[in-house]
Amino acid sequence: MRYAYEPEVEAFRKEVRQFIAENLPPEEVRLQRGYEGGFKTNQEEYDYTMGFQKKLSAKGWLAMAWPKEYGGGGASHMRQLVYNEEMAYHGAPAGNMGIAWVGPSLMLYGTDEQKSRFIPRITGADDWWCTLYSEPGAGSDLAALQTRATRDGDDYIINGQKIWTSGGHLADWGWIAARTDPDAPKHKGITMFMLDMKSPGVTVRPLINIADRHGFNEVFFEDVRVPAKQVVGEVNRGWYHMAVALDFERSGIQAYAGGRRTVERLVSLAKSHPELAERRPSVRYELADRSVEVNVGTFLAYRVATMQARGMVPNHEASASKLFGSEMGQRIATTGMHLLGTHGQLRDGTKHQVIDQATSYLSSVSATVAAGTSEIQRGIIATRGLGLPRG
């Protein structure tokens, strides 16, 4: 099968590649300094990420998918696909939670004051946002969250705890879901707030992950006052606002583009250091399998974007792409460890300086949990895709 883009889309791809070549540091510098993947674990990585996003903003690309009236690019699904694919392939730090979650909700449910205050700072890469959803007792079952917000005059007072907050230690603002009606059914009585992370009573504590990286945090709220004007949407309707999804490209192409680049690096390493493959000949078959899987996954992602471009709404198709991509990432990381052998256990660079394979291997463990567990994705595919009964 030959997949071809419209000439206009291919021209845009060339433009994106040229921009990346002119604005990203050389690959060897990014690998050496741990910039790839946009972990944002410390101030240096944060500055690097925001500096690049400022350039995207100036180009009009940071909010590529947003409507033009809100400062976005109004891009088609196929342009979004190409943009996401190229950014992920080159390891560019283009992801932004303000773009992904906050802005879309403000467009649909925000007041004029909220839109004028927050949207320009999101599209201008002036503020960094974190997502305050998960709690120790509310992960996949997010509607079980217990963080409380109680009305007190012109404010709400928030008490509770959030966990697994990516970048919370560097964030300017938090997008928080809190329970405003404890007596309502669990999918009701939840409200969305915009929270200044420097507010009195907010405590951010680091969670060091298995790869010895500080990306996650736990966040505690003790009598934190949030002005009522920072409620987004209807009070007690936050669950439905959380589920908002504007018509953005959601193919999951980033996993396959990044995976393709990693496989290419591993193949190049095997060619330049034949002794690695000679020690473990079966790794050649693994590399071949990973290459095939990247191609299969890429077409799963293309299918989702193509459906959206035709006005269709992908459901189980998007779950299939996410499931295959996250599990493929784990297999790629395992193959890298097999190729490098004991040297692969060295963190922050290997003997061959191709990639920090140890960190990649350990970080891949979370891929099948983050953004919807593999179990949840399989359930969606089974019930909505195959029509199987619920268990």
Q: What is the SS3 string spanning 289-318?
A: HHHHHHHHHHHHHHHHHHHHHCCCCCCHHH
Q: Which of 85, 249, 293, 317 is catalytic?
A: 249
201 in Cβ contact with 223 (< 8 Å): yes
Q: List, for residues 319-334, the tens digit of each pLDDT value.
A: 999 999 999 999 999 9
Q: Is 249 a catalytic residue?
A: yes
pTM of the predicted model over 0.85: yes
Amino acid of residue 318: A
Euclidean distance between CA atoms 210 and 217, whole angstroms? 13
pLDDT winner (highest mean) among 28-37, 130-139, 225-234, 310-319? 225-234
Per cent of the chain over pLDDT 70 is: 93
Q: List, for residues 91-126, the tens digit of each pLDDT value.
A: 999 888 899 889 999 999 999 999 999 999 999 999
Strand partners, 204: 219
Q: If you average pLDDT over every residue of the chain, what do you get?
A: 90
Q: Kindly compute the dihedral angle of the four CA atoms of residues 179, 184, 188, 193, in this order, to the nearest 10 degrees.
A: -20
Cβ contacts of 252 within 8 Å, gap of 6 or more: 300, 301, 304, 318, 321, 322, 325
Euclidean distance between CA atoms 197 and 54, whole angstroms? 21
Give yes or no for residue 48 having a pLDDT over 60.
yes
The pLDDT-based confidence of 45 (bands split at 50, 70, 90) is confident
Pairing of strands 173-179, 129-132: parallel
Domains in the chain, please, with CATH?
A: 7-95 (1.10.540.10), 129-242 (2.40.110.10), 253-385 (1.20.140.10)
DSSP code, position 226: E
Give yes or no for residue 39 having a pLDDT over 80.
no
> DSSP of 156-225, one letter per residue?
EEEEEEE---TTTTT-SEEEEEEES-TTS-TTSSEEEEEEETTSTTEEEEEEE-TTS-EEEEEEEEEEEE
The pLDDT-based confidence of 227 (bands split at 50, 70, 90) is very high
Cβ contacts of 281 within 8 Å, gap of 6 or more: none
Q: Which of 312, 201, 316, 334 is nearest to 263 (CA)?
A: 334
Can you give the pLDDT at residue 363? 85
Q: List, for residues 8-20, the tens digit of each pLDDT value.
A: 999 999 999 999 9
The 10 Å Cβ neighbour count of residue 189 is 19
Burial environment of residue 143 by CB neighbours within 10 A (0 to 12, 13 to 18, 19 or more): middle
Q: Which of 218, 176, 179, 180 is nearest to 196 (CA)?
A: 176
